[in-house]
């Protein structure tokens, strides 16, 4: 649950009621200092709320699939993809210990007034030491974004986030949801697999690109 408000400094903020993932968020969010992540601007302890910077352009999911939304142009999609990649690289390479997000998806990519990206929602995030090859954990995340090896074994690595990011990139490029009625295949990945193979042979990627572009 989110609430919008204005702090004394006339800064727009959004407060999130922090019920689920409480311990995880408290551990992770103090480490998020990069421009591509979404650290809290403060806390309201009495109400268990985290206060965040307000991002007026909502989420990538909203702009790709919301009714009546104008089509994102190619330069904007490219900027969103690059910003999301930098945010994920920051979590995996610059945080110590590294952070595995566990729920990379279009709904967790927030967009500010310039359509710069913020990787958000660290309720499922896990710390990951360089000493370990993986973390064994209960499978959590969003269906169709989950890496198959993580979904089947519960063994979590940074590659699990990379797979989810790849699904999100396919969604950004094609305009299709990860699962839906717009294709007969079981998932967006299965829909894209033969098209990618064909495109690599003939150099024509038009069949993968959002037809609204």
The question of whether 73 is a catalytic residue gets the answer no
Q: What is the DSSP string of 79-135?
A: HHHHHHHHHHHIIIIISSSEEE-S--SGGGEEE-TT--EEE---TT-EEE-TT-S-E
Helix (H) or strand (E) holding 17: strand 12-17
- Give the span between the Cα atoms of 61 and 75, in whole angstroms: 17
Burial zone of 110 (CB within 10 Å; 0-12 exposed, 13-18 middle, 19+ buried): buried
Fold of the 56-208 domain: Transferase(Phosphotransferase); domain 1 (1.10.510)
pLDDT digits (tens, 9 = 90+) for 81-98: 999 999 999 999 988 888
Closest CA to 27 of 107, 125, 98, 153: 125
Q: Which of 103, 202, 206, 210 is catalytic?
A: 103
- pLDDT of residue 49 exceeding 60, the answer is no
- Cβ burial, residue 120 (10 Å; 0-12/13-18/19+): buried
> Is the whole-model pTM more than 0.85?
no
Q: Using one digit for the tens of pLDDT, what is the confidence trace for 121-143? A: 888 888 887 767 677 888 889 98
Q: Provide CB contacts within 8 A for 90, sequence distance 6+.
A: 34, 36, 37
């Amino acid at each position: 649950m989110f609430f919008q408000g204005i702090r004394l400094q006339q800064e727009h903020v959004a407060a999130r009621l922090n019920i689920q993932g409480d311990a995880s968020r408290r551990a992770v969010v103090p480490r998020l200092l990069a421009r591509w992540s979404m650290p809290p601007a403060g806390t309201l302890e009495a109400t268990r709320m985290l206060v965040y910077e307000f991002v007026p352009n909502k989420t990538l999911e909203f702009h790709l699939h919301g009714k009546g939304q104008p089509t994102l142009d190619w330069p904007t999609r490219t900027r969103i993809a690059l910003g999301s990649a930098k945010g994920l690289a920051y979590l995996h390479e610059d945080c110590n210990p590294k952070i595995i997000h566990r729920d990379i998806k279009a709904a967790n990519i927030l967009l500010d007034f310039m359509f710069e990206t913020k990787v958000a929602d660290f309720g499922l995030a896990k710390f990951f030491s360089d000493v370990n090859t993986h973390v064994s954990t209960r499978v959590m995340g969003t269906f169709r974004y989950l890496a198959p090896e993580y979904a089947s074994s519960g063994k979590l690595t940074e590659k699990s986030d990379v797979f989810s990011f790849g699904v999100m990139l396919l969604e950004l490029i094609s305009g299709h949801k990860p699962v839906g009625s717009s294709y007969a295949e079981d998932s967006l990945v299965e829909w894209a697999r033969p098209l990618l193979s064909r495109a690599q042979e003939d150099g024509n990627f038009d069949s993968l690109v959002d037809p609204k572009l």
